[in-house]
Amino acid sequence: MTMSRRALLAAGAGAGVGLLAACGSNTGRGSGGSRTELAQWYHQYGEAGTEQAVERYAAAYKKASVKVQWRPGNYDQQTAAALLTDSGPDVFEVNGPTIDQIQGGQVVDLTDLLKGVEDDFNPAVLAQKRYDGRIWGVPQAVDMQMLYYRKSLLRDAGVEPPTTLDALVDAAKKLTDRKVKGLFLGNDGGAGVLGGTPLYAAGLQLVTADGGVGFDDPAAARTLGKLHQLYADKSLLLGAPADWSDPSAFLQGLTAMQWCGLWALPQVQKELGDDFGVLPFPKDGGQGRPSVPVGAYGAAVSARSRHKDAAKEFVRWLWVERTDYQEDFALSYGFHIPARISLAKKATRLQSGPAADAVRFTTDHGCAQPLLWTPAAQSAYQDALSRIIRSGADPEGELRAVVGKVAAELDRVKSAKKAKTAS
C-alpha cells in the first residue's frame, strides 16, 4: 500500500513537471540537432499568401534551420513579454524597436549588416530605426496612410479635392447628407489614427532634431482646433462597423472620404475602379506642407538569443541580400512599398495611377514617428487630441499640459542615455 501511494505521488509529481515543461517548451526553437535552430516571429498579416511566403524564405536559408512563428493577436504585447524571458524569438519583426527596448538592451545592434547599402533604404523609415548612431532594426517594407476620396461624390457636390485643411473641413461639410458622411477618420473621430500628422501638416513636428518638443507653437492649437470643427459640423462618420484601417465604410458608401492605409488600395481599386483618388493630409497655414505618415516593421534580433551571430547573419541574408524575396514580400501579397529605394523604383505596380501618387507622397511628404516619441508621450498627446476633437476642449490649454509631459518624457529618455554612456 505504501509503495503504491508513493508511486502515485511520484507519478503525480512527474506529470506536473511534464506539464510545466510542456508549457515552457513551445518556443518554436525545437531542440537538439546539429544545425543551429532559429525562431523567427511575424505578426499575422491579413493578406493571403504572406505566411506561406515567409515560410518559403526561411526554408531556403541553408546555414541554419529557421522556424517561423506566425502570431495572431496582440503582437506587440506578445513580443514585449517574450523578450523578458529566454524562450522568446531569436529574430522577430517589430513595430520599432522602441526606444525603451533599445535602451533596455533587449535588441542587438545591426549597424554592420547595412554597411554599403544604407543609402538604398528609405531614409524616413531608416531614421526611425537609428539611435545613438547605430541601427537597431532592418526595415522590411514601408507602409503609409493617406486620404481616399470618391471622385463621383465630390463632383456631384461640386467639391474640388481639398489641398488645405480649411478646404477639407468645408468639403466634408458639403459632402455630408442624411445618408453619407463627408469624412471618416476612425470611430474615435481621428485622434488615434492621425496622431502627429496634422502637426506635420502645419509645418511642425513631434520631436525636434535635437530632441526637444516640436509643437510648442500657437500654430499647433490652431490646426488641432480645426479637427474639432469637423466633429462639431457632424461631418465625421462615427461608429462604423469597421474602423479606419478597413476600407469597408468607404466602399459601402457610408462616407465620401476616408483616411486609410496603402494596404487597402488593391481592394478599393477592385471595387470602385477609377472612381476614387488619393490625397496626402492637406497643409494648414503659411508654414504648412502636406503630410503622410510612413512607417516600417523592422527585423530585429533579440539580445536574449542564444545564437545572436547566426540570427544576425540570417537577417542580413533575408533583409539585405535577398532583394528578390524583399520585393516578393512587399508587392506580391498585400500592398506595401519596398523599403529599398532601388526596388521601389523597379516595381511596375507602383508606377501608375493612385499607387504612383502614394509612392510620390511617401517620398515627398512622408513623416515617420520619431523614435524618441515614447508610448507615454503618445498617450498624453492622443488623450488631449481626443478631448480637443470630441469634447471641444481648449486646444491651447490641452497642448500646454501635453508639452510639459512630453518634455519630461524626452528628458527621461535623454538622461537614460547619459547614464548609460557614463556607466
Partner 1 sequence: MRGRRALWFWVFVGPFALGLALFTYVPLVWSVGLSFFDARNTVTPTHFVGLDNYTAMLKDDAFVDSLKTFLVFTAFIVPATYAFSLSLALMVNRVRRARAFFRSVFFLPAACSYVVAALVWKMSIFNGVRFGLANTLLGWFGGDPVAWLSTTDPPWYWLVIVTVRLWLQAGFYMILFLAGLQRIDPALYEAAAVDGARPGWTVLRHITLPQLRATSVAVVLLLVINAFQAFDEFYNLLSDARGYPPYARPPLVYLYYTALGQGQNLGVGSAGAVILALIVAIVTVGQARWLRLGRTDADG
Q: Which is nearer to partner 1, 27 or 98 (CB)?
A: 98
Containing H/E element for 135?
strand 134-135
Q: Which is nearer to partner 1, 98 or 223 (CB)?
A: 98
Q: Which is nearer to partner 1, 314 or 373 (CB)?
A: 373
Q: How far is the CB of 192 from partner 1 (least distance, A)?
A: 4
Q: How far is the CB of 102 from partner 1 (least distance, A)?
A: 10
Residues 37, 60: Cα–Cα separation, whole Å? 14
Q: What is the DSSP letter of 92?
A: E
Residues 252, 180: Cα–Cα separation, whole Å? 10
Radius of gyration over alpha carbons of the chain, in Å? Answer: 24
Containing H/E element for 353?
helix 353-365
Of 136, 216, 207, nearest to 372 (Cα)?
A: 207
For the record, the C-alpha cell of 407 comes out as 518634455
261 three-class SS: strand
φ, ψ of residue 131 in degrees (nearest 5): -145, 130
Q: How far is the CB of 335 from partner 1 (least distance, A)?
A: 18
Residues 206, 292: Cα–Cα separation, whole Å? 14
Q: What is the DSSP letter of 291?
A: B
- Terminal-residue alpha carbon distance, the chain: 63
Q: How far is the CB of 189 from partner 1 (least distance, A)?
A: 6
Q: How far is the CB of 36 from partner 1 (least distance, A)?
A: 26
User: Distance between alpha carbon 255 and the CA centroid of its chain, in Å?
Assistant: 25
Q: Which is nearer to partner 1, 171 or 384 (CB)?
A: 384
Q: Which is nearer to partner 1, 71 or 390 (CB)?
A: 390
Interface positions with partner 1 (CB under 8 A): 5, 8-9, 12, 16, 74, 76-77, 80-81, 83-84, 98, 100-101, 104, 106, 178-179, 186-189, 191-193, 237-241, 243-245, 254, 375-376, 378-379, 382-383, 386, 390-392
Q: How far is the CB of 22 from partner 1 (least distance, A)?
A: 15
Q: Which is nearer to partner 1, 44 or 351 (CB)?
A: 44
Q: What is the DSSP letter of 160?
A: P
Q: What is the DSSP letter of 369?
A: P
Answer yes or no: are the C-beta atoms of 141 and 382 closer than 8 Å: no
Q: Which is nearer to partner 1, 44 or 391 (CB)?
A: 391
Q: How far is the CB of 245 from partner 1 (least distance, A)?
A: 4
Q: Which is nearer to partner 1, 237 or 367 (CB)?
A: 237
Q: How far is the CB of 198 from partner 1 (least distance, A)?
A: 16
Q: Which is nearer to partner 1, 49 or 375 (CB)?
A: 375
Of 180, 221, 219, nearest to 399 (Cα)?
A: 221
Of 142, 174, 149, 120, nearest to 323 (Cα)?
A: 120
Residues 297, 140: Cα–Cα separation, whole Å? 6
Interior CA angle at 252 toward 244 and 194, to 5°?
15
Q: Which is nearer to partner 1, 206 or 310 (CB)?
A: 206
Q: How far is the CB of 408 from partner 1 (least distance, A)?
A: 10
Residues 318, 346: Cα–Cα separation, whole Å? 19
Q: How many residues does the chain have?
A: 423
Q: How far is the CB of 3 from partner 1 (least distance, A)?
A: 13
